[in-house]
Amino acid sequence: MRIGVTGASGMLGTALVAHLSKLHKVFATSRGKGIEGKDIEWDCFDLTNIQLLNKWLDRVKPNVVIHCAAIVNVELCEENFVLATKLHVETTKVMSNYLNSITGRLIYISTDSVFDGKKNKPNSESDLVNPLNVYAKTKLMGERPVQLMTNGLVLRTNIIGRTQENSASFAEWVLRCLIDNVPLNLFYDVNFSPLHVYDLSLIIEKIINNPIFGLYHCGSSDSISKYDFGKKMADIFQLSDSNINRVSVDDMKFNASRPKNMALNINKISTALEYDFPNAIDAIKLIKHQYNNKNK
């Protein structure tokens, strides 16, 4: 199969390209080149240049595109709504139109941030959304053209792993603070459902082989607080957790309320794929595994 991956040098893109290129021809696009291989073909260009995007689609003629490209820098999104809209919404419209015309499939990677986190239970696909910042608002706007497609799939997720580019993930930051034994304040009242990028790659491969369409939540099978995540990381990496302080997001006196419950209910996708999803601790164990392999 011919598979296009946008944002291919990012954290998820790298995992997807590495995994899917074992079985498929992968057409990777990003601002800069990522991992290379026999069945990986790179095209580095600015995705928001619609002319270049159309040219890439015309040349590649993908059976499936996995649209991972996003501006995860929330500050940049806040200050540049136009750019965030171009990348999260306009490029998605172009890809959905093109793939509809050739009966191709589009898998759009969305976010748990579309919720305001006020619900007491894990968020389901049918729950009302209420994005609190430009990043989340534009990602939500990008879901729309995909949901209008015949062959479109939106996956709302929260990923962890090791980053490739010059940025760091939440897990990497927590680990650095644990290694340096510097005080680390973590929220006990903010919950999320982290899924390791490797596990998400396996799930996406499963979806490529057994297509599902529409909107699905795709996270760990349970949820964990940021505080417990830090404690578990310390435990799994055999580091001291004495520097971790348990704090409430309510004590932060932010201008706007912060989402507390970002947990995702994954019953719909778990049933559709007949797949037992990993839990949050499995995701941390995979990070440990990545570090062990790198340090060998």
* Min dist. Cβ of residue 135 to other proteins (A): 7
Nearest C-alpha neighbor of 136 from the set 171, 100, 110, 107: 110
* Min dist. Cβ of residue 3 to other proteins (A): 26
* Min dist. Cβ of residue 91 to other proteins (A): 19
In terms of C-beta density within 10 A (0-12 exposed, 13-18 middle, 19 or more buried), how is residue 274 classed?
Answer: exposed
* Min dist. Cβ of residue 180 to other proteins (A): 8
Contact indicator for 147, 292 with CB cutoff of 8 Å:
no
* Min dist. Cβ of residue 247 to other proteins (A): 6
DSSP label at 261? B
In terms of C-beta density within 10 A (0-12 exposed, 13-18 middle, 19 or more buried), how is residue 70 classed?
Answer: buried
Nearer to other proteins, 102 or 252 (CB): 252
* Min dist. Cβ of residue 106 to other proteins (A): 23
Residue 120 tokens, joined? 């007491």
Cβ-based neighbours of 42, under 8 Å, separated by 6 or more: 8, 28, 29, 30, 33, 34, 36
The enclosing H or E element of 2 equals strand 2-6
The residue ranges that bind other proteins (CB under 8 A) are 72-76, 78-79, 133, 135, 163, 165-168, 170, 172-173, 175-177, 183-187, 190, 226, 247, 249, 252, 254-256, 258
Nearer to other proteins, 108 or 135 (CB): 135
* Min dist. Cβ of residue 147 to other proteins (A): 24
Cα 70 from Cα 10, distance rounded (Å): 9
Question: Checking DSSP bridges between strand 224-225 and strand 191-192, what pairing results, if any?
Answer: antiparallel
Nearer to other proteins, 101 or 254 (CB): 254
Nearer to other proteins, 18 or 74 (CB): 74
Nearer to other proteins, 47 or 177 (CB): 177
Cα Rg, the chain, nearest whole Å: 19
DSSP label at 122? P
Nearer to other proteins, 49 or 73 (CB): 73
Cα 204 from Cα 211, distance rounded (Å): 9
CB atoms within 10 A of CB 44: 13
Nearer to other proteins, 174 or 286 (CB): 174
